[in-house]
């Protein structure tokens, strides 16, 4: 996408800190993500990427600072977290589909239960989303009848069924067999092109280069680089990012 200055800021971290006991896992993070922007978060294992992304829908609380999602400070104790979680979709490494529910029922469950959507509308929406992720023909299947890549595509459709403003992805392809990575990245790329605001932790640097508007490089809970993909890949600025890129490319 082309990002202009006038575009509204969808997610904003303001001087965010978090600790796990003595570990300073998020150390003064400032980050603005504009509506429609796709931000890829990368960095060494244990650098705090998952913790950072999980703070956006408050799966992890923070010690200080502010996190704004579409004008609401999610770190404020008065904020209704259930509402935030309907507005922020999350796709994990492990798909966590409900094993006893069909694909269709996995997708309609939250829209019906949490949003109060009627069943017919929820099923219509679910079928549209299954169409988008290429799995309409699997609507009656159960998760254990699907490949890992198919399950992850259902998990993305399930996230989208809540009609979120932001989608978070935490290494969505890293538990998949290599031949299934592409089909999931394709769905994410289509989603990015549809204008969704996305924050993705991934080590898929091809995806990052092609789809991301910005790359955030995190080390020891700090953002060391926040740059355009081409600049990041061709001219990393820190020893840590150079070392990281040399290990994964
Ligand atoms: P990444 O996703 O970059 O690999 P994480 O955010 O998962 O990093 O973890 C950052 C650091 O915080 C690691 O040292 C990890 O061991 C630690 N950590 C993560 N979750 C917890 C937790 N619930 N309790 C204590 N330490 C944690
Ligand atoms: Mg992680």
**Around ion ligand 2, which residues have CB less than 5 A away?**
50
Compute, in angstroms, the gap from residue 98 CA to the centroid of ligand 2: 22
Q: Tell me which residue has its CA closest to atom 26 in ligand 1.
A: 20
Tell me the mean pLDDT per 10 residues along the chain, length 249: 74 98 98 98 97 96 97 94 91 92 98 95 98 97 97 97 97 95 97 98 96 98 98 96 91
Whole-number pLDDT of residue 95: 79
In the block, residue with structure tokens 């996305």: 198
CA geometry: angle 82, 84, 87, nearest 5 deg: 115
CB of 50 closer than 6 A to ligand 1? yes
Q: State how far the Cα of 189 lies from the Cα of 133, in Å rounded to an integer.
A: 11
ipTM of the complex: 0.98
| 8 Å CB contact between 241 and 222 | no
Instruction: Report CA-CA distances (Å) from 19 to 27, 48, 58, 81, 170.
Output: 9, 10, 14, 21, 20
Helix, strand or coil, per DSSP, at residue 213: coil
Compute, in angstroms, the gap from residue 48 CA to the centroid of ligand 2: 7
Directed axis angle between helix 119-132 and helix 148-160, to 10°?
A: 130
Nearest ligand to the C-alpha of residue 46? 1
The closest-lying atom of ligand 1 relative to the alpha carbon of residue 45 is: 4
Compute, in angstroms, the gap from residue 23 CA to the centroid of ligand 1: 9
CB of 20 closer than 6 A to ligand 1? yes
Q: Is the dihedral of CA 52, 56, 58, 62 positive or negative?
A: positive
Is pTM beyond 0.90? Reply is yes
Q: In the beta sheet, which residues pair with residue 91?
A: 169
């Amino acid at each position: 996408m082309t990002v202009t200055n006038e575009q509204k800021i969808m997610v904003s971290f303001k001087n965010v800190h978090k600790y796990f006991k003595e570990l300073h896992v998020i150390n003064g993070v400032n980050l603005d993500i504009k509506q429609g922007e796709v931000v890829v978060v990368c960095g060494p294992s244990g650098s705090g990427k998952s913790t950072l992304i999980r703070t956006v829908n408050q799966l992890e609380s923070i010690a200080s600072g502010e996190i704004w999602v579409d004008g609401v400070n999610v770190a404020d104790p008065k904020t209704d977290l259930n509402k935030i979680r309907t507005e922020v979709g999350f796709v994990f490494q492990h798909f966590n589909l409900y094993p006893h529910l069909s694909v269709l029922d996995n997708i309609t469950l939250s829209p019906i239960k949490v949003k109060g959507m009627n069943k017919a509308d929820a099923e219509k929406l679910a079928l549209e989303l299954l169409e988008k992720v290429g799995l309409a023909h699997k609507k009656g299947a159960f998760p254990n009848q699907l490949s890992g890549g198919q399950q992850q595509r259902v998990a993305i459709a399930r996230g989208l069924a809540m009609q979120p403003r932001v989608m978070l992805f935490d290494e969505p392809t890293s538990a998949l067999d290599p031949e299934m990575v592409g089909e999931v990245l394709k769905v994410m790329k289509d989603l990015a092109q549809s204008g969704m605001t996305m924050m993705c932790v991934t080590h898929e640097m091809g995806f990052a280069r092609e789809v991301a508007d910005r790359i955030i490089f995190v080390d020891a809970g700090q953002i060391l680089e926040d740059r355009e993909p081409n600049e990041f890949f061709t001219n990393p600025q820190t020893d840590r990012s150079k070392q990281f890129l040399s290990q994964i490319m």
